[in-house]
Amino acid sequence: MMLSSGLPPVFLLLTALELSWSLTDEEKKIILDEHNKYRSQVSPPAMDMLKMSWDTELEAFAQAYAEKCIWDHNKERGRRGENLFAMAPTLDLEFAVEDWNGEEKYYNLTTSMCVPGQMCGHYTQVVWASTHQIGCGAKFCEKIEGIETEDMYLLVCNYYPPGNMKGRKPYKEGPSCSQCPEGRVCVNSLCGNQEPQPSHHPQPRSQPQPQPSQNPQPHSQPQPQPSHPQPHSRPQPQPNHHLQPCSQPQPSQNLQH
């Protein structure tokens, strides 16, 4: 395989990516929406599951750590939860969150126990009821410290307040939204922020203005109009839109921490 002719442009492209890498608004929305989707779908349902929102400070913190390309949790994260995911050859954000949530099958909510030898901490952080802020960063790393595979994407997500408190369940079982905190309203089985209502100020009524008197004019007699049948417009058929399920591409390499 000939690589010499295309090699310099590839190197230039990678350099540009390294200098300016950050998640796009669309990618941030995917991550946030996927988290809220799985939080709204917990089974059994949650009484107190808060709806997550994106936090730019958490995003900046996560991005700064992703830039270091280290396969280990940030020891300086303080009171922030954290999930890591490494994948190749593409950055598939839906797959990453789906994989974290997939640990649900190993977790017993009744006993708060995980199947021995399996991981459940990513799942419990995703659905930790009191966590309501998330911010993530990602980086293409030629080499991630702690992983032998080269040329992988590293995704870092930080959460506030953090989940996975020892001895506590991720959420309270019961009817959805039945124990939302004060000031929260139920939105798609999640306790969301109450939207401010627009203020309506009554407008003063306009006073009727006296109309100048006018001399009565003789009424003109209506003239009969010839009737012409109008062609009926045919209703246009509306196109049917069928959403087809998309199969998720499976990355050839993926790791979570």
In tens, the pLDDT along 112-159 reads: 999 999 999 999 999 999 999 999 999 999 999 999 999 999 999 999
Length of the chain: 257
Q: What is the predicted pLDDT for the residue at 104?
A: 98
Give 134's Cβ-side CA count (13 Å radius).
Answer: 29
For 197, residues 6+ apart whose C-beta sits below 8 A from its C-beta are none
- Look at residue 56 and tell me whether its pLDDT is greater than 80: yes
pLDDT digit string, tens, across residues 187-212: 999 999 987 544 444 444 445 555 54
Handedness of CA 156, 158, 164, 165 (dihedral sign): positive
Nearest CA among 192, 129, 135 for reference residue 159 = 135
Structure tokens at 73: 């949790």
| Maximum Cα interatomic distance, the chain, rounded to a whole number of Å | 99
| Range from 30-39, 128-137, 210-219 carrying the lowest mean pLDDT | 210-219
**What is the average pLDDT value for the chain, to the nearest integer?**
80
| Range from 82-86, 164-168, 210-214, 217-221 carrying the lowest mean pLDDT | 217-221
Q: What is the predicted pLDDT for the residue at 218?
A: 44
Q: Give the Å distances, CA to CA, from 27 to 3, 34, 59, 64, 244.
A: 31, 11, 12, 17, 21
- Look at residue 176 and tell me whether its pLDDT is greater than 80: yes
Domain ranges of the chain: 25-193
In CATH terms, is domain 25-193 a member of 3.40.33.10?
yes
Q: Give the Å distances, CA to CA, from 48 to 44, 102, 156, 185.
A: 12, 21, 26, 11
The more confident residue out of 3 and 254 is 254
- Look at residue 64 and tell me whether its pLDDT is greater than 60: yes
The rounded percent of the chain whose pLDDT value lies above 70 is 69
Residue 185 β-bridge partners? 192
Each as own residue / partner, the long-range contacts of residues 167-172 (CB below 8 Å, 24 or more positions apart, any chain) are 167/112, 168/112, 169/109, 169/112, 170/109, 170/124, 170/127, 170/128, 170/129, 171/42, 171/46, 171/47, 171/48, 171/49, 171/127, 171/128, 171/129, 172/46, 172/47, 172/48, 172/129
Q: What is the 3-state secondary structure (H, E, C) of 57-97?
A: HHHHHHHHHHCCCECCCCCCCCCCEEEEEEEECCCCHHHHH
Q: What is the predicted pLDDT for the residue at 242?
A: 34
* Nearest-angstrom CA–CA distance, 126 and 148: 27
Output the pTM of the full model: 0.71
Nearest CA among 6, 14, 76, 49 for reference residue 192 = 49
* Nearest-angstrom CA–CA distance, 147 and 4: 28
DSSP symbol at 229: P
